[in-house]
């Protein structure tokens, strides 16, 4: 004797597909907003560490739960254009003194060993952001709650020498790796 199976309430296939797509988009948006994001590098200010056109993965959780350290590569909101995200290396944190002498960066009186700059000198810039009253003068004490950031390509980077120290609140992620192209993939 054949058993009759009752028909339950089944969602139509097309509706199931739509719900899966919507759920996937929501998960992706939550991840992008709170966990990690992909950034495309538009300029050569971080050469040779990061190449123009590289796709970076920026991790967002640790930025909200711990303080930023010197040497880390971070993304942050451009102080002059809030619609733009920049990527630079943290050189000094709040309370530290930055000085540029004879093409070298000094933090709290000690010259930094910056092999990632490939020997490019670090001089003050001749120009400064329109948002600053006057050009940065050295030695410069980084205010508490701020960081001093610089591009690794020191001769081609508008960084804290141009727009001043960056608020820690404007930091959006800690860059963990280059994800694309395959020739550049690696941890940072």
Distance between CA atoms of residues 37 and 117, nearest Å:
26
Helices (H), 2-151: 13-34, 61-65
Give the SS3 label for residue 68.
Answer: coil
Under 8 Å CB-to-CB from 161, ≥6 apart: which residues?
100, 124, 125, 136, 150
Distance between CA atoms of residues 8 and 89, nearest Å:
59
Residues linked to residue 89 through DSSP beta bridges, in sequence order? 73, 150
Give the SS3 label for residue 81.
Answer: strand
Q: Is 88 known to be catalytic?
A: yes
- Residue closest to 112 by CA, chosen among 93, 98, 126: 98
Candidate list 43, 62, 67, 88, residue with the active-site label: 88
Q: How many CB atoms lie within 10 A of CB 164?
A: 21
Candidate list 4, 7, 43, 45, residue with the active-site label: 45
Positions marked catalytic = 45, 88
């Amino acid at each position: 004797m054949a058993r009759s199976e009752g028909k339950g309430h089944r969602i139509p296939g097309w509706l199931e597909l739509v719900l899966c797509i919507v759920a996937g988009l929501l998960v992706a948006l939550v991840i992008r907003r709170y966990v990690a994001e992909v950034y495309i590098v538009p300029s050569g200010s971080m050469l040779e560490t990061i190449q123009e056109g590289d796709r970076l993965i920026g991790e967002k959780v640790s930025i909200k739960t711990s303080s930023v350290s010197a040497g880390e590569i971070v993304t942050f909101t451009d102080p002059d254009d809030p619609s733009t995200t920049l990527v630079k290396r943290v050189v000094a944190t709040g309370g530290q003194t930055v000085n540029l002498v004879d093409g070298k960066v000094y933090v709290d009186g000690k010259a930094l060993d910056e092999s990632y700059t490939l020997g490019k000198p670090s001089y003050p810039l001749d120009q400064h952001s329109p948002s600053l009253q006057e050009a940065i003068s050295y030695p410069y004490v980084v205010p508490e709650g701020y960081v001093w950031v610089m591009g690794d390509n020191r001769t081609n980077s508008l960084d804290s020498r141009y727009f001043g120290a960056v608020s820690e609140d404007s930091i959006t992620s800690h860059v963990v790796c280059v994800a694309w192209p395959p020739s550049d993939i690696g941890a940072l």
